[in-house]
Amino acid sequence: MAALTKEETEALIQEVLEIYPEQARKDRAKHLAINDQSLEKSNKCITSNRKSQPGVMTIRGCAYAGSKGVVWGPIKDMIHISHGPVGCGQYSRAGRRNYYVGTTGVNTFGTMNFTSDFQEKDIVFGGDKKLAKIMNEIEALFPLNKGISIQSECPIGLIGDDIEAVAKKANKEINKPVVPVRCEGFRGVSQSLGHHIANDAIRDWVLENRDGDESFATTPYDVAVIGDYNIGGDAWASRTLLEEMGLRVVAQWSGDGTIAEMEKTPKVKLNLIHCYRSMNYIARHMEEKYKIPWIEYNFFGPTKIAESLRKIAALFDETIQAGAEKVIAKYQAEYDAVIAKYKPRLQGKRVMLYVGGLRPRHVIGAYEDLGMEVVGTGYEFGHNDDYDRTIKEMGNATLIYDDVTGYEFEEFVKRVQPDLIGSGIKEKYIFQKMGIPFRQMHSWDYSGPYHGYDGFAIFARDMDMTLNNPCWKQVKAPWKTAESSDVAVAASV
Amino acid sequence: MPSVMLKKNAEGKLVFYVPKKDLEEVAESIEFDNPEKWGGEVLLSDGSKYYFEPMNEQPDFPVTLRAKRLD
């Protein structure tokens, strides 16, 4: 199917909105837009970071998901207590595939679930005593932990427990950082506020721990990788490239990261931000307080990687700039081979995306390297500044949808007929049953890494594997296909 | 009275950032922008106006300051 024109896209949006009651229609209309590259600012065409409409199927998470699941969870040598009822922690445990090195349960705790398991009496009488008690238990059972964070679930805010006081007291007793995070799920409209709260907690409780301590030997090439959660090993694939060009990666935030790395981050020369949405807050804070500049980069697909490596290198001296060129040249044969192999199989295919964080705009370059086109994209919890950065990446007259509802997404897909959809697990089976190839792009469909040159090879393979899978030809019932009905008619005569 | 984070971008222009509003705009003009006096009315590229209490020296960017919204 040919690309939709601007008018057709406009008509499609109007048609999809038709089903809503008037109020909801008015509200949802603000979240759906047609991309126009001539716009500088997204707020002219799209509204974002607003409360979802009651009654629609939204795909958003909560503030606890943003803090425990995204920002704090991957810090491997700390124990993150899901403070509140057991479910929030248990059902999200290890779901994000933030890989790490270490012995789980001994010196790393990434895939484990620690919870205060609130019961009725804790709601009635408060859970502070229980919290203090479990921190002592943790200290006895897991002495190699490097700190504890308290991730609040909804009831903590509702009953007004003073977790800060408990944290301060525990900090004195166990002599390790104890960080209370006020990320109750009801705060904000999506997980995005959870990221912000988590960033603020790092700012207030961790970042200044080593201020005035100059014992850490620095080099002029120290950088920190911020906002890379090592999904399927992403941060490792990124880190190798940075190290090969001559930089020293001091900290990984927060995939495969440690609290010691975070405390050392104020000593670096440059912060590299991959996921802008979840960690720009801390980067901005470090810029103000420690005068550390930050830049955004994109390690999806060879075009963007080369662009980013050069952009990073431009902020350093000639040795690093030469190093960047060397890295690009070194991997050229590798990624040219990947493109030569997969581009003919994927050329001209059209993709629709609906994910969170940085991916709705960052992966566009990787698809384009494979000759594919992204015809629709949207953020679960993006803000205006995300859409500002998306407009230039997307083609004209393509669809942009913010906090898309289940219904809208299905209708868009029915009309746009993309060859591939990249979204989350909740959307996966709907679209597979509609007979459309689908990749779960939140955690790379249990594959990965997708970052870096090594990741690009896996990305290309996965897309090919999904798109050109013979199963898609079998989705239609055999008696409903044209040839078989011809045969049946011929046989019956 | 929003808190505004101010920084200079690569072109040396002032960038205005209000975290709570996701407002990230380049400042078009500043009433007083010389080494002795800084502040006053700031016009942003989206047309909105803010006012900073003038100060006797250039602040050390990036910096967070309180601003008054003028329109």
Q: Which of A291, A454, A249, A280 is nearest to A383 (CA)?
A: A280
Q: How far apart are CA A255 and CA A232, in angstroms?
A: 10
SS3 A326: helix
SS3 A151: strand
Q: How far apart are CA B58 and CA B37, in angstroms?
A: 7
Pairing of strands B68-69, A178-181: unpaired
pLDDT given for residue A487 in this prediction: 62
SS3 B59: coil
pLDDT given for residue A309 in this prediction: 97
In a mutational test of the B interface, the residue from A49, A197, A284 whose CB has the highest number of chain B CBs within 10 Å is A284
Contact A281, A275 (CB under 8 A): no
Q: Closest residue of A to B61, CA-based? A: A288
**In b/e form, how buried is each residue of A19-34, taking b as 16+ CB within 10 angstroms?**
ebeeebeebbeebbbb
Residue A319, both tokens: 């040795």
SS3 B51: strand
pLDDT given for residue A185 in this prediction: 96
Give the DSSP letter string of A78-100. Answer: SEEEEESSSHHHHTTTTTT-B--
Contacts of A384 in chain B (CB under 8 A): 22-23
Pairing of strands B14-18, A114-115: unpaired
In a mutational test of the A interface, the residue from B3, B4, B22 whose CB has the highest number of chain A CBs within 10 Å is B22
Tally C-beta pairs within 8 A across A and B. 24
Residue B69 touches chain A, beta carbons under 8 Å: no
CB B60: neighbour CB atoms within 10 A?
8
C-alpha neighbours within 13 Å on the C-beta side of residue A40: 5
Contact A445, A416 (CB under 8 A): no
Give the DSSP letter string of A209-250. Answer: GGTT---SPP-TTEEEEEEE--BTTHHHHHHHHHHHTT-EEE
Residue with tokens 């590798």: A334
pLDDT tens series, chain A, 493 aa:
567 889 999 999 999 999 999 999 999 999 999 999 988 888 888 999 999 999 999 999 999 999 999 999 999 999 999 999 999 999 999 989 999 999 999 999 999 999 999 999 999 999 999 999 999 999 999 999 999 999 999 999 999 999 999 999 999 999 999 999 999 999 999 999 999 999 999 999 999 999 999 999 999 999 999 999 999 999 999 999 999 999 999 999 999 999 999 999 999 999 999 999 999 999 999 999 999 999 999 999 999 999 999 999 999 999 999 999 999 999 999 999 999 999 999 999 999 999 999 999 999 999 999 999 999 999 999 998 899 899 999 988 899 999 999 999 999 999 999 999 999 999 999 999 999 999 999 999 999 999 999 999 999 999 999 999 999 988 888 888 766 556 656 666 6
Contacts of B64 in chain A (CB under 8 A): 288
- Quick one: residue B8, left, alpha or beta (phi over 0 = left, psi -120 to 50 = alpha)? beta
Residue with tokens 């003009």: B29
pLDDT given for residue B35 in this prediction: 83
Q: How far apart are CA A96 and CA A69, in angstroms?
A: 7
Q: Is the peptide bond before A254 cis (omega within 30 degrees of 0)?
A: yes
pLDDT given for residue A2 in this prediction: 60
Q: How far apart are CA B21 and CA A357, in angstroms?
A: 18
**In b/e form, how buried is each residue of A373-404, taking b as 16+ CB within 10 angstroms?**
bbbbbbbbbbbbbbbbbbbebbeebbbbbbbb
Q: Closest residue of B to A48, CA-based? A: B22
Q: How far apart are CA A168 and CA B71, in angstroms?
A: 44
pLDDT digits (tens, 9 = 90+) for B23-71: 788 888 888 888 888 888 988 888 888 999 988 888 888 899 999 988 7
Q: Closest residue of B to A383, CA-based? A: B22
Cα four-point dihedral sign B24, B27, B30, B34: positive
Q: Give A371's contacts (C-beta < 8 A, 6+ positions apart).
A: A343, A346, A347, A348, A349
pLDDT given for residue A454 in this prediction: 95
ipTM: 0.90
Q: Which of A96, A182, A274, A451 is catalytic?
A: A96
Distance from CA of A62 to the nearest CA of B (A): 18
Q: How far apart are CA A343 and CA A336, in angstroms?
A: 10
